[in-house]
Amino acid sequence: MSALNKPSAPELILPDENTYIDWAVDEFRKNEEESSFIQPTDRTLLVVGSRGVGKSTFIVKTFDLDEEIKPTLGMEYYFALNSDLDAKNELCNIWELGGGTIFSGTLYSIERMPNLSAVMVLDLASPSTLSQSFKTLIDVLLNYVSRRGNLEELKSAARESMKNHQDADVVEPFPVPLVIVCTKFDQFQSFEPEQKRVISKYLRFLAHRHNATLYFFSSKAPTLIRNSKEVMLHFTHGFEPIKKAQMDYNKPLLIPAGTDKFESIDEGIEDTTTAESYEKLLNHYFKQEPPKEKKFDITPILAAAKEKRIDDLLQLKEEELVVQKVEGDLKGHLYRSQHLSTGEGDVMFDPRF
């Protein structure tokens, strides 16, 4: 029997006969030119949160964007404009990290995030995942900020902003302005009073420890959407930070950075400055566990974002895989014909193949 000839795989050539490498270089240069619209005077929001927590909904509702709310794959870009005379800048670039943290590596492809503020979105309707979600997300943010090169300078400025606070010696201000947005308040309202109190205490501790602004949000509550708009104007366009604070556990929390105190959060806790006491209390009511990973179906996203060149490349790769599969099948049949022969020219095939 003659040796099996290896089928030749299709060359990875684009429709205009340029190579894939040529195309990739052109795309990189084009993207570099397009990204030059980001100016040093602009402000930037980086929004992170567990999958399904409502990040896109928060962005669209807060900034009155005419955008379809759909699952985010990788990084999604939005922008908010404000031409008010009190605005220190007209444009704010908004980046959303989709898919929880599984796409966190895409953060490092975006170098230009001037005047950065971070927004962490947590799920009030899932109190059993609050602790792990916060720890995971704060690490993602800190890792990104650390790679920007001026971490010590940012830390120093953050500490300086708290120097006159009574808790200045025990807080750990985040290197860039941080906002903790807690979504699904409409579902949270149905919790027992003691459960709401424990969750609120824990969130207040996290926010104050990191000198973050904290507020509750619901896309179904016009008042909370309006509050969100007012709070975010400071971070997106340099307006004066809001002064009002709402610390009543029976109402949606709204606590600007630097306005809380450890002694006010819970006088009954022996050590109000460490996370262990609050985590123990939270775990007593809601056993803490990692956020459940939901199946991420990329098909509808790809269908809604067709790009001819990418689709052509994908088709070529799929055709190459088909050729490789055929080659593998032929090799399998050849192997069986050589090793399972009965001798008189008859070939016995194993029915398992």
Model confidence at 90, pLDDT cuts 50, 70, 90, reads: confident
Q: Is 312 a residue whose pLDDT tops 90?
A: no
Q: Is 303 a residue whose pLDDT tops 80?
A: no
> For position 3, what pLDDT does the model report?
43
Q: Which CATH code for domain 38-285? A: 3.40.50.300
Torsion of CA 56, 57, 62, 68, to 10 degrees: 80
* Residue 175 tokens, joined: 């290197």
The beta strand positions in 245-316, using DSSP E, are 254-255
Question: Using one digit for the tens of pLDDT, what is the confidence trace for 56-67?
Answer: 999 999 999 988
Instruction: For residue 291, give the DSSP letter.
Output: P
Alpha helix segments (H runs only) across 35-129? 55-62
> For position 29, what pLDDT does the model report?
56
> For position 322, what pLDDT does the model report?
66
Query: Could you tell me the pTM of the whole model?
Result: 0.73
Question: Mean pLDDT, to the nearest integer, of 223-231?
Answer: 97
61: closest CA among 221, 182, 177?
221
Q: Is 306 a residue whose pLDDT tops 70?
A: no
CB atoms within 10 A of CB 162: 17
Model confidence at 96, pLDDT cuts 50, 70, 90, reads: very high
Q: How far apart (Å, rounded) are the C-alpha atoms in residues 64 and 107?
A: 25
**16 vs 162 pLDDT, higher one:** 162
Which residue ranges make up each domain of the chain?
1-35+306-353, 38-285
Query: Cβ-count burial of 195 within 10 angstroms (0-12 exposed, 13-18 middle, 19+ buried)?
Result: middle
